[in-house]
Structure 1
């Protein structure tokens, strides 16, 4: 594990502007720098970088952090790897911390050993292409497909020699232990005799699977002989460093192009990806023959919001795989699709027509998912009214997966025209579908409904679905926001810091929202040690939840230019102009929310007691508690100037 001293040096030297500037162009506006977010596709910059605070914050997707967190997010790596990455960038010597528990040492060493073993295997397979067997079988297969030496090198393509233990012998000769080779999925134990070990990949061409930062983590291997007893492809098993549901083949080679093009082509197999790179199209990844997963969709969404799914020319196969489109829509991605002619796939068609014609085909045949889905069934719905009704419901269900209401509305209108059905009918069906979906996934408990009813009675709000717990959480958030932003500011005429006031007023309170209680506890603990907790402690905190929440609370969405309003003699009142009043009212509101929650609990006890037939004295006790709480609320309402009915 990298030492704390090294981590501290990285935190001191890493500059947010330099780090982010290597990935996206930055423009200065006011005190901050702005860019289009590298984590989600957008046209208008909402990604803010504060050089003064050394933080970034996207107001579109919510990503936030310091230089270390940015590298973790953009490269898809862990904290230790991000520290190592930045240490190398800034020429900082990396010190390893010897003070690790045996378990930590074991886990760290095993993970590192797996990466080293997998990298050795990658090099071994690549070098095998230079052997006589590798040239005559593996290299000739790649050349037949038109794969150039540059492409072979770019994707670390290789060959596994024919034989039971070629890799095993080579790895052991280089000091690798058998248990690491087993855990990496490179070798197998013979069934019935665990002492007999042999290579997993034999007499096959190999495709190296990389993680987002480019490390080999697994392999896919294709057989070249026609052996009906052997599968065409075999793949690495799940390991501590390879979880196939979170990996896309080609993502390392594609991530920059996906960001630049703001679109990701999604194909099925390894050779589809490689062939498209040969055609000059690099923003392409493969699900590697598995059903699309939520983890893979999130991985795509880190680089773009736009996906174009490429389908082989097989109508039955396409209809069977439409579930993937619904998952993409549900993940908030904008989906298009391209279908190749019968019997063709991206690999075969690109080799058949050439790079230029292939690129033109993709551009000319790309359809949004509505036109694509309806087009698949056009012959069926023309002949059969019942089938048309079924297709309409299927299309409506797909539209219902889209989280953005504006996009839903646009697609509903388009579907209306293509299906020749009134838009109002589609909207009615869509509403029924979405209501059913909400009932299935967000069915509220009896207690939640009662809390909502109590909230409506006690504090009328625009959104009657918000619960008392949510209202209380909002007020807790406001208290922590003031604490982080103005904790070290003096208030009133006395020598009193705002943090002292807020902490004394909340001394006997325990916040119900875990993250705000966590920040409050940290603030108190540091003050108790005589340490003044500056904002940097929280925005650079090692707990990513605290770090993100702190950045959210100190980063305003918009800033007004001081030069502008001074030039025009326009003076704007802000909360910092009267912190004493702001803090006082915030504490009153927090206490009001707590009182209301306690009142709600008392009401529930009264109702429950009556239903259960409890003693009248017990119910009277609850009623008296409620009335006392109501009096306190009345006094707070008067102080806050709330109109009392």
Structure 2
């Protein structure tokens, strides 16, 4: 409506936009502001800074024209990844929804749902930090596989930003705008809010064992590298989760030999595993152990059809403490030294 256009500063860039700007003597200024012909024949949306001054625009296609969303070029005033559409309309700092589209956000505003729009670009750490004053951040994703992948990417961004995120997943072929228009605001508000980290773990459990173990290992490494308050909390949660996780591979029905215990300790720590290889400490063990170690260090993946793959899997899920690994290294060094001395005595 006209009222909505005025209230939310929605406009339209005509086909002759640059001609109009030239006639008004504003063309050079518009170019400096990052405005290009790409936004012509599109609906425009205005971004504001924290002083409520307009600083940039985004544009949405009418109909099926691709791409759906276009932003003006970066300028000294405007970098798209540093802004969220609609943030200036929010007064209360309670929970807030993050949606993709500008029209999604406007429909939320009109039904008193606090929301901001990302606008078809990847979520950034800077954008999440803009929402730090809010008590809870819920991001809306499509319910398909692409939505799940986007949720996993958002989880990593939220960890880097040191801010927990929650997620809702939309019904098939629906966005917040269409869902609210068809079924009312409660249909959107009643979507189950899921802690994004817990959702990641739940999904991980549905993956094939080999993939699940690798993803879990990579995620643990990411948390350690990020090393902030949120990542350290999640690392603690992972340790608890590891106690109950069962991913395909199991040692329950295997005889635990001393050799397997040694391998479990070594595979729990890549640094010491590499040390054992460099010092030829694995020479005194089964040749397949050395093969499994080499493959794991080179590819960061579980070797296929190797006798010791289940032990490597367990070590990745629930690593042995470093003290145990150090004892194993010392044991192997001592055993290698004894073998060397025996060989000298024989010769």
- For 2:136 and 2:223, how far apart are their aligned partners in 1? 16
How far is 1:224 from its partner?
Answer: 1.5
Structure whose alpha-carbon radius of gyration is higher: 1
Q: Which of 246, 252, 256 pairs up with 2:82?
A: 246
CA RMSD of aligned residues (A): 3.4
Specify whether residues 293 and 370 from structure 1 end up closer, same or farther in structure 2 by C-alpha distance, changes over 3 A only.
closer
User: Are the equivalent residues in 2 in contact too, given 1:279–1:356 (CA < 8 A)?
Assistant: no
1:590-626: CA deviations, max 9, x gaps? xxxxxxxxxxxxxxxxxxxxxxxxxxxxxxxxxxxxx
Q: 2:339 maps to what in 1?
A: none
Q: Which runs of 5+ in 1 are unaligned?
A: 1-147, 189-198, 423-427, 437-645
Residue matched to 1:387: 211
1:304 paired residue number:
134
391 and 181 in structure 1: CA distance in 2 versus 1, 3 angstrom threshold: closer
Residue 179 (structure 1) aligns with: 28
> In structure 2, what is the equivalent of residue 205 of structure 1?
43
Q: Please tell me whether residue 266 in structure 1 is matched to residue 98 in structure 2.
A: yes
TM-score, length basis structure 2: 0.62
Gaps of 5+ in 2: 251-264, 273-347
Aligned to 2:194: 367
Counterpart-to-counterpart distance in 2, 1:274 and 1:315: 26
- Equivalent residue runs for 1:587-602 within 5 Å: none
SS at match of 1:273: helix
Matched residues in 2 for 1:346 and 1:171: separation?
A: 39
Summarize the alignment of residues 157-556 of structure 1 with structure 2, pairs less than 5 Å apart. 157-163=10-16, 165=18, 167-169=20-22, 171-172=24-25, 176=26, 178-186=27-35, 188=36, 201-227=39-65, 231-254=67-90, 256-257=91-92, 259=93, 261=94, 263-282=95-114, 284-301=115-132, 303-304=133-134, 306-320=136-150, 322-361=152-191, 365-380=192-207, 384-397=208-221, 399-400=223-224, 401=226, 403-404=228-229, 407-408=233-234, 411-412=237-238, 415-416=241-242, 419-420=245-246
TM superposition score normalised by structure 1: 0.35
What are the superposed Cα offsets for residues 508-553 of structure 1, whole Å, 9 maximum, x if unpaired? Answer: xxxxxxxxxxxxxxxxxxxxxxxxxxxxxxxxxxxxxxxxxxxxxx
Q: Distance in 2 between matches of 1:156 and 1:298?
A: 24
1:249, 1:287 within 8 Å by CA — same for their partners in 2? yes
**What is the aligned partner in structure 2 of residue 507 from structure 1?**
none
Equivalent residues, number: 253
CA drift of 1:311 comes to: 0.9
- Distance, in Å, in 2 between the alignment partners of 1:372 and 1:418 is 16
Which structure has more relative contact order (CA 8 Å, sep 6+)? It is 2
Change in Cα spacing, 1:432 to 1:304, as seen in structure 2 (3 Å) is farther
Structure 1 Cα separation of the partners of residues 119 and 77 of structure 2: 17
- Alpha-carbon shift at residue 355 of structure 1 (Å): 0.9
Per the TM alignment, residue 211 of structure 1 is displaced from its structure 2 partner at its CA by 1.7
Give the conservation status (yes or no) of the 8 Å contact 1:265–1:308. Answer: yes
